[in-house]
Structure 1
Amino acid sequence: MRRRTFLELTATLGAGVTWPSAAAAAAAVPGTGAADGPGARPGRRRPDLIVAADGSGDLTTVQAAIDAAPSGATTPYVIGIRPGAYLGQVVVPAAKTFLELRGLGSGPADVVIADDRANGTLKPDGTPWGTSGSASVTLSGADFRAADLTFANLFDEAAHPEITNRQAVAVLTRADRLAFERVRFLGNQDTLYVNSTAAGVIARAYFRDCHVEGDVDFIFGRATAVFERCRIHSLDRGSTPNGYVTAPSTDLANPHGLLFARCRLTSDAAAGTVLLGRPWHPGNDPNAVGQTVVRESWIGPHVGETAWSDFGTWPWTQARLREYRNVGPGALVTAGRPQLTRAEAAVNEIPDFLRGADGWSPDLPRHRA
């Protein structure tokens, strides 16, 4: 599956749909006190600001709304985003806490927030952006949430053969207690970078009913990140290997890295050509002993008898890479695919990853099974 272009992503946005004015979007709904436009759900706080590219809201860009939000908030500040394409880098600084970006369309594809730079893309000063600098969206504010929208990096590898460092991040997370629901993350290499402020610092992120796609190391970093009921889609590069789903760099002191629970791992790639991951040691850090756990998930035939790979000189067998009770044509149990024991599985549930010292439990009850 080739990467979708920006024009393809946005060609049908809002087609045949009439969206309400900012005043209508803030109209009261019986029993909730507020609405946020089409698809409003009972109990949801109405937006504090409306972003609309066509000028029908309070502001026309996502970054302007973030800049207008209060600093140091201790309660949610909701930015509603009308259907449309919002192209340009977005940064949520550490001071902007408790922000929520909420798409106001009928589904995540109706609101697209994207940029198109890669690691090797040059800045105006002639130096490259680097992997972190390539991010379309950088999230450094704690307690951030997003729902019902798409984040994408639209860097076109084929159009830029001169750029060899092709890491192109859609979203970089650096903060703690982040939650995403019904959000799409689109890219090729290094789509979703779940990180923290420094090695040894734990930062937690929760993804539910989301879609993440890419090819090489497209979910990576040292954060503690839980993916529940998500679709994890590997793009077809037409090569062998076709790519790696994860590249965890979890610090050795952190018992919890990347967890995929009740997810669907899919691909259009040939059978047995995609690997579940490889351990990343940034800066050759020996303490970056990555953890990826895939449990009780459906795995397509794109994953074969060997699911893990070495990363340079770092052997995968020394990392924390495990599976448990997966199903599907690619859910094989072989010597190259170590499994959790029942006792290990009992201490690697979703709450174990997210609870932390503060007892955090993301409050996303609307679709809880």
Structure 2
Amino acid sequence: MVRGRSSDIEFDLRAASSSSARIDRLIRFAAAPSPACRGGLGRAKSPAGTFDAVVGRTPFDDIPIFASVGAAIAAAPITGGKPFRILVTRGRWHEKLVVDKPDIHLVGEDRTASVLTFDAAAGMPRPDGEPWGTWGCASVTIRAPGFRATELTIENAFDYVGNLATPKFEPIGPNGAQAVALMLDAGSDRAMFERVNFIGHQDTLFVDAGRSFFRDCRISGSVDFIFGGGNALFEQCELHSRFRPGKERQGYVAVPCTPSAQAYGLTFVRCRLTRDAAIPDGSVALGRAWRPGRTFPDGKYGDPDAVGAAVYLDCWMDAHVDPRGWDEMGYTARDGKRVMLQPGDARLFEHASAGPGAHRSASRRTLPRDRIAAYARERVLDGWVPI
């Protein structure tokens, strides 16, 4: 396969050469027209007026073509108000992206071949020499409302398995190998993802702010691979556990740090929990509640207001799920001692789990029947109705 590089963007020249017909099909597929491009970029004159920008190499009509996703986002208006729709053609677009403009919509040409990728881990150095940290290592960070992505892949390509065998940097936090693919940061709200693949290992998906909705997505990882304090609803998604060589505890799926006053955290409805073939039975926990360290006037310690909320409703689970369900998780208490936060001290529940990984036990609490109605989509998302 012939490959090229431009501005650190990797792309498949063979695929790009025949993109016009594929773009035409996507334009006919897109559900809603988009506003004209602004700032002297020219007006998109596609048959449906659907895209404001294309990330690729082959022009189509007079839609502005950009050599990187970041450049296309930079061309969007600052004020938002209407979707600014960007078509991401086939290729591995190696960029570290921060979306701080509202109403950016990314549409992939191909779910598995349109890939937004970077490879920073928490313990790796930034350009200034300091480590990225968990909050800084994400391949894609969203800090504005109204973001949407469909039919593409978001990846952190850090070599987690290779680093287990030969660590490449000084650990920070648990190990420095946290490598976030997507982070929903402060400012994000009403973020929607449909038919998107998220690929990572430790800390793949960091949903830490606002309301978000994931439908028909595939999230893959191993340790704490869906985590954070935001209000995230997952419907009919695949939660895929990846193999960690040499580890008895293969991983943890849902790891919320939900604020105590927030009713909803990580909510999974009709999802499937699957695994790599090498993962043994009973070796993956449904999750654990996280109490992240915060700085307070009297010191830094685990945030006592973080009372994680995670619920699995009508989900199918393969046999890799531990019959005990949930694990405890350590944090530093106010007095400096190391304390384990027990599952029963957080809001961790199931309802109507099925499959070989579904078990009834005292450690796997069932959501009370009179609370099931509270998990209707419009209630979880507090009146926001994703379309």
User: Shorter-chain-normalised TM-score: which range?
Assistant: 0.7 to 0.9
Look up the match of 1:277. 287
Q: 1:125-182 deviations in whole A, cap 9, x for unaligned?
A: 2210111110000001101000000000011131551333100000001201000000
> Partners of 1:360 and 1:14 in 2: how far apart?
42
Q: Say yes or no: does 1:140 pair with 2:143.
A: yes
> Partners of 1:304 and 1:207 in 2: how far apart?
25
SS in structure 2 of the partner of residue 131 of structure 1? coil
Alignment partner of 2:103 out of 94, 98, 121: 98
Look up the match of 1:3. none
> Partners of 1:70 and 1:298 in 2: how far apart?
42
> Partners of 2:252 and 2:350 in 1: how far apart?
16
Look up the match of 2:329. 311
Q: Say yes or no: does 1:237 pair with 2:244.
A: yes
Shift of 1:280: 0.5
Amino acid at match of 1:362: P
> Partners of 1:242 and 1:181 in 2: how far apart?
28
CA, structure 1 residues 288+75, in 2 after alignment: closer, same or farther (shift >3 Å)? same
**In terms of mean alpha carbon deviation, does 41-50 or 272-281 score higher?**
41-50
Percent identity reads 40
Alignment partner of 1:177 out of 179, 190, 195: 190
CA, structure 1 residues 112+13, in 2 after alignment: closer, same or farther (shift >3 Å)? farther
Q: Say yes or no: does 1:256 pair with 2:256.
A: no
Alignment partner of 1:40 out of 29, 37, 46: 29
Contact 2:33 2:51 in 1 (8 A): no
SS in structure 2 of the partner of residue 181 of structure 1? strand
SS in structure 1 of the partner of residue 74 of structure 2? helix
CA root-mean-square deviation: 2.1
SS in structure 2 of the partner of residue 184 of structure 1? strand
Look up the match of 1:350. 377
> Partners of 2:241 and 2:251 in 1: how far apart?
7
> Partners of 2:57 and 2:119 in 1: how far apart?
19
> Partners of 1:64 and 1:303 in 2: how far apart?
42
> Partners of 1:335 and 1:13 in 2: how far apart?
56
Shift of 1:314: 1.4
Look up the match of 1:167. 178
Look up the match of 2:315. 297
SS in structure 2 of the partner of residue 150 of structure 1? strand
SS in structure 1 of the partner of residue 244 of structure 2? coil
| Gap runs ≥5 in structure 1 | 1-9, 28-34, 197-202, 364-369
Matches within 5 A, 1:117-128: 117-128=120-131
Amino acid at match of 1:278: R
How many residue pairs get matched?
Answer: 330
Q: Say yes or no: does 1:70 pair with 2:92.
A: no
Contact 1:53 1:84 in 2 (8 A): no
Amino acid at match of 1:79: I
Shift of 1:98: 0.8
Amino acid at match of 2:66: L
Contact 1:172 1:192 in 2 (8 A): yes
Shift of 1:92: 0.3
Shift of 1:349: 2.6
Amino acid at match of 1:360: W
Q: 1:34-90 deviations in whole A, cap 9, x for unaligned?
A: x634x7245565111111056776101000011110011111110111111100201
> Partners of 2:365 and 2:326 in 1: how far apart?
10
> Partners of 2:318 and 2:15 in 1: how far apart?
33
TM-score normalised to structure 2 length: 0.81
Larger Rg: 2
CA, structure 1 residues 170+82, in 2 after alignment: closer, same or farther (shift >3 Å)? same
Contact 1:53 1:61 in 2 (8 A): no
Shift of 1:282: 1.0
